[in-house]
Amino acid sequence: MDIFSFYMPTRLFFGNGAVRKLAKARLPEGCGLIITGGTSTTRLGYVNRVADVLRQAGHETAVYNKVQPNPTIEGVRECAALCRAAHISFIVGLGGGSSIDTAKAAAVMATNDGDWWDYVYGGTGGGKRIANAGLPVVAIPTTAGTGTEADPFTVITNGEEKIGGGGEKCFPAISVVDPDFMMTVPPHLTAYQGFDAFFHAAEGYIARTASPMSDMFALRAVELIGRSLATAVHDGGDREARAEVALANTLAGFVETLSSCTGEHAIEHALSAFHPALPHGAGLIMISRAYWSRFAEVSGDRMAALARALGRTGATGAADFLAALSGLQKRCGVHQLRLSGYGVRPEDFGKIADNAAATMGGLFRADPRPLSREEIIGILADSYQ
């Protein structure tokens, strides 16, 4: 058995009402900065609920609420400057992965020299080592998709580069996964986010970096999503389904920590870098069947195991997984998504493939076998219409 390691320094609180645990959590004295995006977290009262719980623990808070759905380097810089100017002691990332990823990157920038992009590998990133621990981060996801509450990574967009970065200094200090904060996510976003979590787990299972421990988390996450995602999509008020998808998302974050995403994520990051209005999970759904079919011959046994986790008890090969994947997408109402619906143009397929390789080429090295540039273009073409 190959050597593997698992380092997870985050204290995790999970369950309905878990946000109350923050009242007794160990955080540095002083003011916290709540980083969030849009209007929903404020309109639904989540910002006030978090601020009230922290106030019980003696912490005042400031709020930054301008995070974009695909978080940008400009937003990270603004938050880091605010942290330094206001002498912020800790950061709360409240919202989807964009808010938490912004919080992680800003926390590092607040305590290290230079710019976040100096610490990014790939593309025009500087590839520097993060020297100092960042400000403590509290991650409170309001969506079940990225798993960023359970991993040390961020995904930040800088122009036409959307690159994952981070390292062990980017783990949250505390993560609070409270499914009560996820009950109002609209059906289509529930589906997109759920499939993002699904592919974190499934990619980590077929990746060359998989280990016995990542396999355990991956199969359980896939099982929970197969059982409950469609229910959460069609009945958002089903607390049990929401909780199971939330748990699957956190387990998939463990998979990201232990194993790796694969080229599927690299391709989608390039797509949404060029088309910021394309939701990440929707992009993954669009390219998934074409991507996964490329590994039928080399990963048939692993794909069969994923199919069995999705409920196909007699699955024996890759075809069973592809059928189970299509069935889950149909039950969630996302099976007809195509790249042509988001302004992606066939003449740009080569540019997208080159961007994926240049910015996140390391993920392709985790694929079960190498994909050529022509094959990546073929995946995009097969997913177009």
Element (H, E) at 266: helix 263-274
pTM (2 d.p.): 0.96
- pLDDT values of the chain reduced to their tens digit, one per residue, 385 residues: 788 888 999 999 999 999 999 999 999 999 999 999 978 999 999 999 999 999 999 999 999 999 998 899 999 999 999 999 999 999 999 999 999 999 999 999 999 999 999 999 999 999 999 999 999 999 999 999 999 999 999 999 999 999 999 999 999 999 999 999 999 999 999 999 999 999 999 999 999 999 999 999 999 999 999 999 999 999 999 999 999 999 999 999 999 999 999 999 999 999 999 999 999 999 999 999 999 999 999 999 999 999 999 999 999 999 999 999 999 999 999 999 999 999 999 999 999 999 999 999 999 999 999 999 999 999 999 999 9
246/256 Cα distance (integer angstroms): 15
**Which pair of tokens denotes residue 124?**
């025009």
* Side chain identity at residue 79, one-letter code: C
Report whether 82 contacts 88 (CB < 8 A).
yes
| DSSP category for residue 150 | G
The 3 state secondary structure assigned to 328-348 is HHHHCCCCCCCHHHHCCCHHH
Report helix angle 349-364 to 263-274, nearest 10: 140
- CB-based contacts of 48: which residues, under 8 Å, 6+ apart? 42
C-alpha to C-alpha distance for 128 and 84, rounded to whole angstroms: 21
